[in-house]
Each structure stands twice: as C-alpha cells, then as structure tokens.
Amino acid sequence: MSSRRQLNRGQARQLMDTAYLAAATALLWVALYYLPVGSPLFRLALPLPLALLQLRHGWRCAVEGLVVTALLLVALMGPIRGPLVVFPYGLLALWLGWCWRARVGWRSSWWLSWGVGSLIGAAGFLVRVAVLSVLVGENLWVLITTAAAGLLEKLAGWLGLAASIELAQVQLAALALVWVQNVIVVLALHAVAYWIFPRLHSPIPEPPDALRALVALDPL
C-alpha cells in the first residue's frame, strides 16, 4: 500500500509563496509589454517578488520560482518573449536575493549588490536588445548609439571642441548610458526593498552610511 505524503506547514507556505510570487512576476512582465502606462513602475517592481521569495525560503526556492515564471510566460507570450524575463530581471532578482539574505558579512554590503547588480542589469538589457532586434528585423542598438552620438555632440559643443566623434567613442558612450541607467534602477530597487520588505517581515541589510541619507526617508 502506498502512503500519502502530507506537507507540513512550512512546506505548504513555501509552495504557496512560490506559486503566488512567480505569478506576480509573470503578471508584471505581461503588464510591462501590453499596458500603455506604468512601464517604469513595472520595471522597478519586476525583480522584487522573486527576491522576496529568496529572502523567505532560500535560493533553491527562488530558482524554482523563476522557472515557474518562465514556463507560465512561455504559455502566455510564446517561447521567445516569455523567457526574456530572465534577462535581466530574473537574474537580478536571484543576485539581490542572495546578497540580501546574508544579514552579515561581505555579501550583505550594498556596494557589492549594487555594483554587480548594475552590471547584471546592463548585460541583460543588451541581451534583450539583441533578441528583440532579431524579432523586429531591425538593429535596435542603432537607436541607442544615435542617442549617445547626440549626447557626445552636445558635450563637445559645451566644451568648445570641434573634433569629429569616432564610432568607438559613440559605442562606449552608448554602453555608459546603459550602465548608468542600471546604476540608478538597481539603487532604486534597494531603496524600495528597504522600505517595503520590513513590512513583509523580510528586512534587507542596512545601507552604508554614505547611502543612508538617500534611502532613510521612507515615503510609505
């Protein structure tokens, strides 16, 4: 005779958290694609459910949540657009959750989670640009390099420089723009998690003194 295995309270809560937070991430991704408003807020909120899952139940559960999210989005959006949630939001959620779960030690440093997180965000953005360029049949990187070229021309005009701008300089400026954008986004993610997660009984480590003034004012 086969015996039924019953879940204890902790396992049931872990299963429920995984399902709900994975579904929340999938809904945010769908909203980011199809709703005409709220895009910055959706982008800012996307990594937080899976990061919260990792804070509560560890990295294995967070990886399971990311897999569930990707599978759900494959069913909703297809095999290409769905898995793009991994780049960079899924990977960023896993990284931040891993760092925030360590209450002490070098892993808990905001400088580490912020710095590496900005690089993960920038790399994930480039992956998404490459995939979407294939989908639409147009090189979307040209739009970013055009904006970078315009910025360099304005800077050259302000500084009184008449030298021509080379392609390598434009490419470096475009990469710098992508990285700076992700520096701001990842710092904002830290601030939002620092404000909200304690209310969900999952606080993250305290910010360093140099950043405390930026995040200590709780708007909620």
Q: Is the pLDDT of residue 121 over 80?
A: yes
71, HSE (Cβ side, Cα atoms, 13 Å): 8
**Please, what is the end-to-end C-alpha distance for the chain in angstroms?**
55
Q: What is the pLDDT of residue 3?
A: 45
Identify whether 1 is part of a domain. Answer: no
Q: Is the pTM of this model over 0.95?
A: no
Give tens-digit pLDDT for 125-165: 999 899 888 888 888 888 888 888 887 778 777 766 656 67
Give the residue with greater pLDDT, 71 vs 166: 71
If pLDDT is split at 50, 70 and 90, which confidence band does 179 have?
very high
Residue 3 within a domain: no
Alpha-carbon span 144 to 171, nearest angstrom? 9
Could you tell me the CATH number of the domain that includes residue 123? 1.10.1760
The domain in which residue 69 lies consists of 9-215
Instruction: Report if residue 220 sits inside a domain.
Output: no
The reply to whether 151 falls in a domain is: yes
Q: Which of 53-62, 125-134, 156-165, 198-207 has the lowest mean pLDDT?
A: 156-165
| pLDDT band at residue 11 under the 50/70/90 scheme | confident
2 neighbors 48 (Cβ within 8 angstroms): no
* Separation of alpha carbons 162 and 150, rounded Å: 14
Question: Looking at the domain assignment, is residue 134 inside a domain?
Answer: yes
149 domain residue, yes or no: yes
Q: Among residues 168, 172, 185, which one has the least CA distance to residue 43?
A: 185
- Tell me if 44 is assigned to some domain: yes
Domain count of the fold of the chain: 1
- Read off the pLDDT band of 57 (50, 70, 90): very high
Q: For residues 136 and 180, what is the distance between their CA atoms, to the nearest angstrom?
A: 26
Contact 36/28 with Cβ under 8 angstroms? no
Closest CA to 147 of 128, 119, 125, 173: 173
